[in-house]
Structure 1
Amino acid sequence: MSGDGALGMVIQHKADICIGAMYSWSEDYTYLDLSVYLVRSGITCLVPAPLRIASWHLPLEPFQKPLWAAILLCLFIEAIGLILAYKSEQELYVPPKNPGGWWTCTKFGISTTFKLFISQSGKSKANSLTVRLLLLVCFLNDLIITSIYGGGLASILTVPSMDEAADTVQRLRLHRLQWAANSEAWVSAIRGSDESLVRDLLYNFHIYSDDQLLRLAQEQRVHIGFTVERLPFGHFAVGNYLVPQAIDQLIIMKDDLYFQYTVAFVPRLWPLLDQFNSMIYSWHSSGLDKYWEDRVVGDNLNLKIQKQLEETMSKNKGDIGPNMLGMSNFAGIILVWILGSIVAMLSFSLELIYFNLKVIK
């Protein structure tokens, strides 16, 4: 109310009417009169787009946890069956002087189970029909499991799985995403709210200058959200700091943080207020509000950016087709291979140490 701004000019009678991105603020109603509503203004955010899931647990993605548990149980049953079958074969076909003990049977059952599971051959010789049939059944069972797993892994690699984006109010709060604007006016309507959700959102809100926001938007990877105004007929009012390369990394939220109706502020007891309200009613009923929004957007806003914002809405729906594979797709598989190689090298080293000590003794 210093008189330097639009509202101050109305109070000091330097202007008769103030129209802009101004809501029905109760504090200002103490000094000024309000017109009927002009447009619905929704405040939402452009938030970082979800990243593709490519991590060490990617090889585990084809099956859900209950299915993995069922597969481990199946392998355990196969191993027990092979151990018992091989033990009975040793008692029937091996001479009494060289019977195979339980440790030998256990090694055969466990190693053969995992060899069949990863489609590897073994050098063990089966003499009894029971062991041969059991090996055939286990092989067919593991062949079906590995085929299903291979198909599921292929679909995950070619059709990307995305992590969760902060594209709703609840997710914005859950992710604790920092979001920013260039003025307190973006949140002044909700600043005094008692809701815990609103307080948590405001805790992560920051005010930066346009130059600071431009630098944040030009980073190689955008990590914060930017406030935008959702206009009534599908357009968005965005700041000049949101450059096209930044919007490529962002998506529009599915819902609004909040919305209010914009009004015009006039001096107290302004004699033309009734006529002005009547004109606004006629303006709405004739459809001029939609025409005027299209005209203003076409004349004053960047249509390329408007198109980009519309495309982010399709990203928000998960409309993502197959992608070319890259090294990030195999990060999890390579990590498993590296860990397996390390374990194998350690096991081989322990075996060398054990047998060397055994020879020395």
Structure 2
Amino acid sequence: MELQLVTEYLKHHNSTPQFIFNDVEEQYWGALYPNWTGSGLMGKLLNDEADIIFTAFYTWEFVYHYLDLSKSYIRAGISCLVPKPRIQSGWFIPISPYKTSMWIAVFINITYNILIAFVLATFRQKLFSPRNISDRSALFLLFNTVWIIIKISFGQSLQKKEKFIIGHLVLIVLVLEYLILDSGYYSGLAVTMTVPRYETPINTALDLANGDVTIWGIFEDWVLSIKNTDDVIYNKITKKYRAVNEAKLRELTKQDYNAFFMERLPFNNYGINDFMKADVIENYHLMEEDVYWEYTLFYLRKSSILTPSFDGFLLRVIESGLPYAWQKQAVYEFMDLNIQKLAAGLDTKKAPHGIKKLKFFHIKGSLAVLFIGFSLAMITLILEVYVYTPEKKRKKKRKRIE
């Protein structure tokens, strides 16, 4: 679209364009230096090799000291193609029904119930069996209290009957409490096994800054607008950004945990570089928000005589609505429409629906918990048979001898 704007401007003034290009890949945009020299496209303009330059130039403050900035003609949102969120691992399915805050509340509740039950049991023992109180009996009482609370929390029945009214009341409250918690957990577990859960998607600049991804692009200029800000989020994004050539970027698109800068243009169009092909773009999704946005414009020589007339021409073209038509035409001629549709989420593919058979993926976390429980039970049984029971028999023999 920039080429069309410049061409029409020159036609309007009966001028013939002469185009120059910057073929040095590392210096497409270029740089400006305090001694009034430069490199790349900006250097060519500063050295009077060109009258107007254009590409994805934004309203950079440092450029104003050396060059003229035209009126802006388009808003460009700088966003990222980021990896699609993956389905959460099946190992975490047993803990997925509750959020982290809920699990913390559950463990605090269990600890509180153990403490209350232990205090009541200790008070009862002091009241009815004061002679049997010792450090060892207190430790056994604590262990027994923990065991009772755990059994109730898992919906297991108790073997011993409670003789006192206060004990009955405490047990009734605990059973009702854990009945509600267990029902909520089992309902959530059933939902988790039938409705897939995904990792947290990257949709905002904060998500991108905190996400476990490396950000890639062809030029350092992608982060030029946010490089020197004091914003913590932008500082993190700048540190995670790497600039490499297109061949390397093509390889990186096939790997995990990589994000790539792109432009979100008006009229639902996207400026996506050629290294992003149709065979890999389906592994990515477009962030809902822009990382940042800028106004796109042209650069002219400092105090150029062309600046006022060119600005007036830009404003008249924008008022006419021609940029919309020119941008659509450029997209149709020079961009992969399939890539555009996939990036915008306009593809017609639908996710498969219907009932799915229960697979090992859904239950491997629960089986892991079951295996851990069986292993602990087996270890406890071995210790009881080969350590605790023989030791108990030896003590009985010593008492008889004494």
Alignment partners' CA distance in 2, 1:125 and 1:257? 63
Aligned to 1:173, what secondary structure does the other structure show?
helix
Alignment partners' CA distance in 2, 1:115 and 1:270? 84
Q: 1:102/1:258 Cα in 2 relative to 1: closer, same or farther (>3 Å)?
A: closer
Of 205, 211, 225, which residue of structure 2 is paired with 1:175? 211
Of 232, 236, 256, which residue of structure 2 is paired with 1:200? 236
Q: Give the aligned partner of residue 278 of structure 2.
A: 244
Q: Give the aligned partner of residue 303 of structure 1.
A: 337
- Whether the 8 Å contact between 1:179 and 1:204 is mirrored in structure 2 is yes
Q: Give the aligned partner of residue 76 of structure 2.
A: 41
Of 381, 399, 402, which residue of structure 2 is paired with 1:348? 381
Q: 1:128/1:290 Cα in 2 relative to 1: closer, same or farther (>3 Å)?
A: same
Q: Does 1:50 align with 2:85?
A: yes
Q: Give the aligned partner of residue 316 of structure 1.
A: none
- Whether the 8 Å contact between 1:166 and 1:253 is mirrored in structure 2 is yes
Code of the aligned partner of 1:333: S
> Which segment drifts farther, 177-186 or 144-153?
144-153
Q: 1:120/1:184 Cα in 2 relative to 1: closer, same or farther (>3 Å)?
A: closer
Cα drift, residue 18 of structure 1: 1.8
Q: Does 1:329 align with 2:362?
A: yes
Q: Deviations over 1:65-114 (max 9, x none)?
A: 335544676688799999999xxxxxxxxxxxxxxx99999999877776
Alignment partners' CA distance in 1, 2:259 and 2:150? 49
Q: 1:41/1:76 Cα in 2 relative to 1: closer, same or farther (>3 Å)?
A: same
Q: 1:284/1:142 Cα in 2 relative to 1: closer, same or farther (>3 Å)?
A: same
Of 262, 267, 271, which residue of structure 2 is paired with 1:233? 267
- Whether the 8 Å contact between 1:40 and 1:231 is mirrored in structure 2 is yes
- Whether the 8 Å contact between 2:263 and 2:271 is mirrored in structure 1 is yes
Cα drift, residue 309 of structure 1: 1.7
Alignment partners' CA distance in 2, 1:254 and 1:296? 24
Code of the aligned partner of 2:51: D
Q: 1:126/1:21 Cα in 2 relative to 1: closer, same or farther (>3 Å)?
A: closer
Q: Does 1:288 align with 2:322?
A: yes
Alignment partners' CA distance in 1, 2:284 and 2:329? 26
TM-score, normalisation: structure 2: 0.67
- Whether the 8 Å contact between 1:43 and 1:227 is mirrored in structure 2 is yes
Alignment partners' CA distance in 1, 2:69 and 2:352? 46
> Which segment drifts farther, 240-249 or 332-341?
240-249
Q: Does 1:275 align with 2:314?
A: no
- Alignment coverage as a number of residue pairs: 340
Alignment partners' CA distance in 2, 1:273 and 1:169? 35
Alignment partners' CA distance in 1, 2:49 and 2:142? 95
Code of the aligned partner of 1:212: K
Alignment partners' CA distance in 2, 1:197 and 1:102? 54
Alignment partners' CA distance in 1, 2:61 and 2:329? 31
Q: 1:113/1:11 Cα in 2 relative to 1: closer, same or farther (>3 Å)?
A: closer
Alignment partners' CA distance in 2, 1:191 and 1:141? 54
Which runs of no fewer than 5 residues in structure 2 stay unpaired? Answer: 1-29, 31-36, 125-136, 398-402
> Which segment drifts farther, 151-160 or 186-195?
186-195
Q: Does 1:260 align with 2:306?
A: no
> Which segment drifts farther, 335-344 or 141-150?
141-150
Cα drift, residue 290 of structure 1: 2.2
Alignment partners' CA distance in 1, 2:162 and 2:311? 98
Code of the aligned partner of 2:275: Y
Aligned to 1:21, what secondary structure does the other structure show?
coil
Cα drift, residue 196 of structure 1: 4.2
- Whether the 8 Å contact between 1:159 and 1:321 is mirrored in structure 2 is no
Q: Give the aligned partner of residue 185 of structure 1.
A: 221
- Whether the 8 Å contact between 2:114 and 2:145 is mirrored in structure 1 is no
Q: 1:139/1:79 Cα in 2 relative to 1: closer, same or farther (>3 Å)?
A: farther
Aligned 1:66-145 pairs, distance under 5 A: 66-67=105-106, 69-70=108-109, 118=154, 145=181
Alignment partners' CA distance in 1, 2:307 and 2:385? 96
Q: 1:272/1:70 Cα in 2 relative to 1: closer, same or farther (>3 Å)?
A: same
Aligned 1:141-152 pairs, distance under 5 A: 145-152=181-188
Cα drift, residue 209 of structure 1: 1.1
Which runs of no fewer than 5 residues in structure 1 stay unpaired? Answer: 86-100, 313-318
CA-atom RMSD, angstroms? 4.3
Code of the aligned partner of 2:223: V
Q: 1:16/1:288 Cα in 2 relative to 1: closer, same or farther (>3 Å)?
A: same
Cα drift, residue 215 of structure 1: 0.8
Q: Does 1:157 align with 2:196?
A: no
> Which segment drifts farther, 188-197 or 71-80?
71-80
- Whether the 8 Å contact between 1:159 and 1:322 is mirrored in structure 2 is no
Aligned to 1:20, what secondary structure does the other structure show?
coil
Q: 1:207/1:128 Cα in 2 relative to 1: closer, same or farther (>3 Å)?
A: closer
Q: Deviations over 1:179-206 (max 9, x none)?
A: 1111122122333334444333222211
> Which segment drifts farther, 30-39 or 113-122?
113-122
Q: Deviations over 1:127-177 (max 9, x none)?
A: 999899999997777655433321111112323333334432223333364
Q: Give the aligned partner of residue 7 of structure 2.
A: none
Cα drift, residue 36 of structure 1: 0.9
Aligned to 2:197, what secondary structure does the other structure show?
coil
Alignment partners' CA distance in 2, 1:237 and 1:211? 18
Q: Give the aligned partner of residue 62 of structure 1.
A: 97
Alignment partners' CA distance in 1, 2:142 and 2:234? 61
Higher relative contact order (CA 8 A, sep 6+): 1
